Chains A and B, each alone.
Chain A
Amino acid sequence: MAIVEPVPLDDDVEVEAVAPAEAVDSHLAARLVAGDRDALAEMYRRWSSLVHTIALRSLANTADAEDVTQQVFVAAWSGRHTLRPDRGSPAAWLVGITKHRIADLHAQRARRARDLHAVATAAVVAPAVTVEDWADRLLLVHELERMGDPRAAILRLAFLEDQTHEQIADRLAMPLGTVKSHVRRGLLELRNRLKEVERVPSD
């Protein structure tokens, strides 16, 4: 019988204490994957406004945005086996699904526009790049909201208010090194969320 050497722990299995909010999210994700419908209801309570706001900003139409919100959660249920509770947040996963649905709707609108008015009106269709940005930007705002302090407070000062690390250290009476380390780790965390969105496959 072959004995396997201890697993080299790569980035994905990095041993790091998980923030409580993250642990709660993974727990919720695991319940969804296991087929628990209450978990979907809970996800809807937590993230329907994130999904809906992204859709509304991208589509500029409440009825279409509600359609997308509905489709996203139905797709989340039927595609729950693609959620990976051990890798990343359910919010990022939902945002990934949202982006695909919105892109689909834009494509439909483009087709409809072509059918109705031929090529002349095709330029009316909103460029897809704004969808990307809205979705990702709103997800990051959401992440900042749920991140615990002091990291959230530090990141808000650093990124939203463009304060220097020294100013933040003064204001929060924290060592400069601690501030820098929170900004660094926080930025990496935000970037990871964006990568998770990217990983969600379109169906």
Chain B
Amino acid sequence: MSHPTDEALADLVIGEPDPTVSEHVSSCPQCAATVAELRRARQLLRAVSQDPVATGGWATPGPSVWAAIEDGIDAAPATDSPELEAQVERGPDVEQGAGPAAGATTSADTPARTRARLRWTPAWAAGLAAASLLVGLGLGHQIWDGGTPAPSPTAVAPAPTVATASLDTLDTKQQDGRAVVVRTQQGLDLEVAPSSKLDPGNGYLEVWLINTDLKRMVSVGVLRPGESGRFTMSQRLMDQGYTIVDISVQQYNGSPLHSGHSLLRGQLTT
């Protein structure tokens, strides 16, 4: 038998029990665990009204603490390198997959400019602040390149290709573009080149790397309609199976999640 919804389980805890749901929970360890978690959340808040924090009584650390944090950060090795590749490679292996692959960049960047640019909001996160994204697009794509037109990919020496994918339409399975992973001095870049101009309607286009488990995905950046895009990615992401390139239509609703509306998709192969 299938599990009740989370909402139905919550109803047990907030005093709207359904006998069918209760019966299921009494014989299903998984749902019983969820109910216990919900109960604990409810329980933790029960005595809170008497607590000073309920009326804003939070304790503030002394003024020396922030300075000590800054010192601690400066003392730590190599923390000023924002190259995502390096970060991802260094990181402990904890559900690492969804470490975002940072903002779009272009191949003609000097390392210094790449660094400056990576300090920008990763393009995928830009979709969160719908207003700023609208402004960015309106003002000539300031989100990812500060208004500088992207140089033509032909202007730079060809980079070694690591993997390629044919991007096909989801409905008719027609090839309508290509994705290429190339090695750069900084790590790996993902180039996404639709053959035709994709229509985002009232929304915008976002590029994702979906894991081969078809459950996890990371956003790699925003794609301008009618153009190719180049994004930072990493060997770690490839190794972990984030090898399905996907282009989705996203709405300006502030949601950082995949809309479920994909236009093109393809599997990278080496």
Contact = CB atoms under 8 A, between A and B. Distances in A.
Interface of A: 1-4, 6-10, 12-18, 20, 23-24, 26-27, 30-31, 33-37, 40-41, 44, 48-50, 52-53, 56, 62, 65-66, 69-71, 73-74, 77-82, 84-87, 133, 136-138, 140-141, 144, 158-162, 165, 180, 183-185, 187-188, 190-191, 194-195, 199, 201, 203
B129 interface: yes
Interface pairs A-B: 3 shortest CB-CB: A35-B82, A30-B125, A74-B72
A160 B58 contact: no
B92 interface: yes
A138 B7 CA distance: 24
B214 A4 contact: yes
A191 B255 contact: no
Contacts, number: 242
Interface of B: 6-7, 10-11, 13-16, 34, 37-38, 40-42, 44-46, 48-49, 51, 53-54, 58-62, 64-66, 68-69, 72-73, 76, 79-82, 84, 87-88, 90-92, 94-96, 98-100, 102-103, 118-122, 124-125, 128-129, 165-166, 168, 170, 173, 210, 214-219, 244, 246, 253-260, 262, 265-267, 269
21 contacts: A1-B165, A1-B168, A3-B168, A4-B214, A9-B260, A23-B255, A35-B119, A65-B59, A66-B61, A70-B72, A77-B73, A79-B91, A81-B87, A86-B218, A137-B48, A165-B14, A184-B11, A190-B41, A191-B37, A191-B41, A195-B37
A174 to B, nearest CB: 16
B122 A33 contact: yes
Contact of A84 (B40, B49, B98): B98
B73 A37 contact: yes
B9 to A, nearest CB: 9
Contact of A48 (B37, B65, B76): B65
A96 B255 CA distance: 24
Contacts of A13: 217, 257-258, 260
A180 B129 contact: no
Contact of A14 (B76, B92, B170, B257): B257
Given A78-B79, A140-B44, A184 B14 contact: yes
Contacts of B260: 6-7, 9, 13, 15
Contacts of B95: 84, 199
B248 to A, nearest CB: 10
Contact of A141 (B54, B99, B257): B54
B45 A17 contact: no
Nearest to A17: B253
Contact of A23 (B79, B129, B214): B129
A131 B244 CA distance: 42
A44 B69 contact: yes
B257 to A, nearest CB: 5
